[in-house]
Amino acid sequence: MLQDITGARVFEAVTPADTGDVLLRGATKKPPKGIYVGGAGNVAAIDYDGTTVTFVGVAAGTVLPIRPRDITTASTATNMVALY
């Protein structure tokens, strides 16, 4: 079952990094509810186990219902926005 991403109240541009925890916000280190992809390409995301998985060929305008720790510099998609 896909998570509900309609309740996002905070939005933040994603700057891909390879550090592992850039997308976690606040004192409780909450991950985003999803990632909006503005420009088509691949999205390489780090999950909670520290594993990087690449979503290949993501179309522009897609919202990936994932809760990553970070989006890596291996990503080719552009104009990504984290939805919190």
Confidence of residue 5 (pLDDT cuts 50, 70, 90): low
pLDDT at 59 over 90: yes
Nearest to 43 by CA among 52, 51, 30: 52
The tally of domains found in the chain comes to: 1
Whether 1 is in a domain gets the answer no
CA–CA distance, 82 with 84 (Å, rounded to integer): 6
pLDDT at 80 over 70: yes
Whether 2 is in a domain gets the answer no
Whether 23 is in a domain gets the answer yes
Whether 46 is in a domain gets the answer yes
CA–CA distance, 32 with 17 (Å, rounded to integer): 15
Whether 33 is in a domain gets the answer yes
For residue 30, the cross-strand partners are 25
pLDDT at 12 over 80: yes
Q: Give pLDDT, residue 1.
A: 45
Residue-number span of the structural domain to which 74 is assigned:
11-83
pTM of the model: 0.88
Whether 5 is in a domain gets the answer no
